[in-house]
């Protein structure tokens, strides 16, 4: 088991990062495909609530603008929303959904786990290319939905949103002066199973 952990660590096959205290993201890269598991604590589940993450340049601002947004709706768990934020406002839904093909969800160990796959580079300008990069910024948040099913703005407290910059190969946190407020615990996927 330890050998497997070390092997995966060296090859960068699996990585995991905590996103605040109620969410985590792990991923595995195989060839040109990346598989994500996004965990959201069951305690966050509520009617009229969404949760999501976005990918962005590691060197970019911590704002949502210019990020590749993926949202989940607790009232419609079968749906995965592929979006892009052109501003710090409601993201636009992509014309092509590049994350829905192998999407599934489950509940395990007190978390809703959303599993989805995409190509490292989907070729869609509304998706952030994860191909041949060392670091990526991952933003996370959750917020309310209207009774009509429209996404409404998330809160702004440090328990409601955050950003981490990680090494894509192993999920390890990139230390920056701005990331001190994030409690990011890094561990390997295979050390948990
Ligand atoms: C979905 O899974 C199939 C079979 O493993 C794979 O060939 C395909 O690339 C996957 N799709 C995406 C978008 O990753
Ligand atoms: Ca997108």
| Residues by chain with Cβ below 5 Å of ion ligand 2 | 68, 82, 84, 94, 126-127
pLDDT of residue 85: 98
Predicted TM-score (pTM) of this structure:
0.85
DSSP string computed for the chain = -HHHHHHHHHHT-EEEEEETTTEEEEEEEETTEEEEEEEEEGGG--TTEEEEEEEE-TTS-SSSTTEEEEEEETT-TT-EEEEEESSSSSPEEPSS-SS-TT-EEEEETTEEEEEEEEESS-S-TTS---TT-SEEEEEEEEEEB-TTS-B-----STTTEEEEEEETTT-PBPP-GGGTT----EE-GGGT-
Å from CA of 132 to ligand 1 middle: 19
pLDDT of residue 8: 45
Q: Ligand 1, closest atom to CA 34?
A: 14
With a 6 Å cutoff on the Cβ, whether 101 touches ligand 1 is yes
Spans in the chain with pLDDT lower than 70: 1-13, 175-193
pLDDT of residue 13: 58
Average model confidence (pLDDT) for the chain?
88
Report the residue among 101, 118, 120, 127 best suited for mutation to probe ligand 1: largest number of ligand atoms under 8 A from its CB.
Answer: 101
pLDDT of residue 14: 83
- Residues 166 and 176: their CA atoms lie apart, in Å, by 10
- Residues 63 and 88: their CA atoms lie apart, in Å, by 7
Q: Per-residue pLDDT tens for 161-170?
A: 999 999 999 9
What domains can be seen in the chain, in order of their start residue?
2-191 (2.60.40)
Asked whether 79 and 98 are in contact (CB, 8 A), the reply is no
With a 6 Å cutoff on the Cβ, whether 49 touches ligand 1 is no
With a 6 Å cutoff on the Cβ, whether 104 touches ligand 1 is no
Asked whether 115 and 104 are in contact (CB, 8 A), the reply is yes
pLDDT of residue 176: 54
pLDDT of residue 143: 98
Asked whether 83 and 91 are in contact (CB, 8 A), the reply is yes
């Amino acid at each position: 088991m330890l050998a497997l952990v070390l092997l995966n660590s060296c090859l960068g096959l699996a990585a995991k990062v905590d996103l605040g205290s109620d969410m985590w993201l792990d991923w595995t890269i195989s060839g040109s495909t990346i598989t994500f598991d996004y965990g959201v604590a069951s305690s966050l589940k509520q009617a009229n609530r969404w949760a999501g993450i976005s990918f962005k340049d590691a060197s970019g601002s911590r704002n949502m603008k210019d990020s590749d947004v993926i949202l989940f709706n607790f009232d419609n768990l079968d749906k995965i929303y592929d979006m892009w934020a052109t501003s710090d406002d409601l993201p636009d839904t992509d014309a092509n959904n590049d994350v829905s093909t192998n999407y599934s969800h489950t509940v395990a160990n007190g978390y809703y786990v959303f599993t989805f796959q995409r190509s490292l580079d989907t070729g869609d300008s509304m998706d952030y290319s994860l191909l041949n990069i060392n670091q990526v910024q991952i933003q996370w948040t959750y917020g309310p939905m209207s009774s009509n099913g429209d996404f409404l703005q998330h809160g702004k407290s440090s328990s409601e949103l955050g950003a981490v910059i990680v090494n894509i190969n192993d999920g390890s946190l990139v230390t920056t002066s701005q990331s001190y407020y994030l409690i990011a615990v890094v561990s390997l996927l295979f050390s948990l199973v």
